[in-house]
């Protein structure tokens, strides 16, 4: 399916978007009812968990999912979204299509029913989401070794960096200090995949730690 845009511009806010995702995931056929269980927005992409139930006493059957104890199954869906000239639009796909966007939170993945085929596109998509969630969120002072040398815009490379920050106005922004040069660089979460913590230092200026050390005469 391609992109569908709402030219009436009725969707303008986060709440509008969530309400529309809920509507899109709530429908009935002659034999089944589908309802939204959870929706999470990451960047401009919405991730949804939708539950399918039978409208009759007969249990559901499905080629992709193991039926849950209550007779239903829950699947994952991805909604790519964007605004074009003020008009909101989306492109949706089920997890069985193996979406490229793979940043669904673990809290949503944990709601999905078991898959019958461990070699399916859906299984691979879930694993990519888990791999993304497993990328560490390093703290101030953490010394990190990247999985492989990273080539910077000036052609130089780095692999050992220390988490620090810089200020933009009143906001603190995460960046990393390069071991070899002392220069600061911003790294995307994707570039931290497969990295490992070498050492952890106590960040300067922590009021909590200062109080702890003062009380213990350190």
Summarised one tens digit per residue, pLDDT across range 72-81 is 999 999 999 9
Tell me what pLDDT residue 58 has.
81
Q: Which of 133, 159, 175 is the last residue of a domain?
A: 133
- Cα 148 from Cα 83, distance rounded (Å): 36
What is the phi/psi pair of residue 162, to 5°? Answer: -120, 130
Here the tokens at position 56 are: 């009759």
Check whether residue 184 and residue 108 sit in a common domain: no
Tell me what pLDDT residue 1 has.
66
Q: How many residues does the chain have?
A: 218
Considering only residues 14 and 181, tell me which one the structure prediction assigns the higher pLDDT.
14
Check whether residue 92 and residue 14 sit in a common domain: yes
Considering only residues 3 and 214, tell me which one the structure prediction assigns the higher pLDDT.
3
Q: Which of 106, 133, 160 is the last residue of a domain?
A: 133
Check whether residue 48 and residue 120 sit in a common domain: yes
Q: How many CA atoms lie within 13 A of 93 on its CB side?
A: 18
Q: Which of 98, 133, 168 is the last residue of a domain?
A: 133
Question: For residue 87, with 0-12 CB atoms within 10 Å meaning exposed, 13-18 middle and 19 or more buried, which class applies?
Answer: middle
Average pLDDT over the chain, rounded to an integer = 90
Residues with Cβ within 8 Å of 118's Cβ and at least 6 positions away in sequence, in order, are: none
Tell me what pLDDT residue 154 has.
86
Please identify which residue in the block is written with the tokens 């968990």: 49
Name the 3-class secondary structure at 38: strand
Nearest to 34 by CA among 60, 12, 6, 69: 60
pLDDT tens-digit readout, 153-168: 888 899 999 999 988 8
Domain that holds residue 51: 4-133
- Cα 169 from Cα 41, distance rounded (Å): 27
Check whether residue 152 and residue 198 sit in a common domain: yes
Check whether residue 19 and residue 123 sit in a common domain: yes
Check whether residue 18 and residue 93 sit in a common domain: yes
Check whether residue 120 and residue 165 sit in a common domain: no
Residues with Cβ within 8 Å of 119's Cβ and at least 6 positions away in sequence, in order, are: none
Whether pTM exceeds 0.75: yes
pLDDT tens-digit readout, 59-68: 899 999 999 9
Number of domains composing the chain = 2
pLDDT band at 96 (very low <50, low <70, confident <90, very high): very high
193 has pLDDT over 50: yes
Check whether residue 40 and residue 60 sit in a common domain: yes
208 has pLDDT over 80: no
Check whether residue 77 and residue 180 sit in a common domain: no
Check whether residue 78 and residue 128 sit in a common domain: yes
What is the phi/psi pair of residue 191, to 5°? Answer: -70, -15
Q: How many CA atoms lie within 13 A of 45 on its CB side?
A: 14
């Amino acid at each position: 399916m391609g992109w569908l845009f709402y030219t009436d511009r009725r969707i303008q806010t986060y709440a509008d978007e969530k309400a529309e995702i809920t509507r899109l995931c709530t429908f009935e056929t002659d034999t089944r009812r589908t309802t939204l269980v959870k929706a999470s927005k990451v960047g401009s992409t919405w991730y949804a968990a939708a539950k399918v139930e039978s409208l009759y006493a007969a249990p559901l059957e499905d080629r992709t999912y193991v039926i849950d104890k209550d007779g239903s199954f829950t699947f994952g869906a991805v909604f790519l979204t964007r605004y074009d000239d003020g008009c909101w639009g989306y492109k949706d796909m089920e997890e069985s299509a193996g979406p490229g966007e793979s940043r669904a939170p673990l809290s949503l993945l944990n709601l999905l029913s078991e898959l019958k085929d461990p070699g399916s596109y859906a299984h691979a998509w879930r694993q990519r989401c888990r791999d993304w969630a497993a990328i560490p969120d390093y703290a101030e002072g953490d010394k990190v070794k990247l999985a492989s040398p990273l080539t910077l815009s000036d052609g130089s490379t780095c692999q050992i960096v220390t988490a620090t920050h810089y200020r933009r106005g009143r906001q603190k922004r995460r960046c990393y200090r390069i071991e070899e040069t002392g220069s600061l660089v911003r790294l995307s979460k994707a570039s931290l995949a497969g990295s490992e913590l070498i050492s952890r230092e106590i960040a300067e200026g922590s009021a909590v730690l200062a109080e702890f050390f003062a009380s213990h005469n350190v």
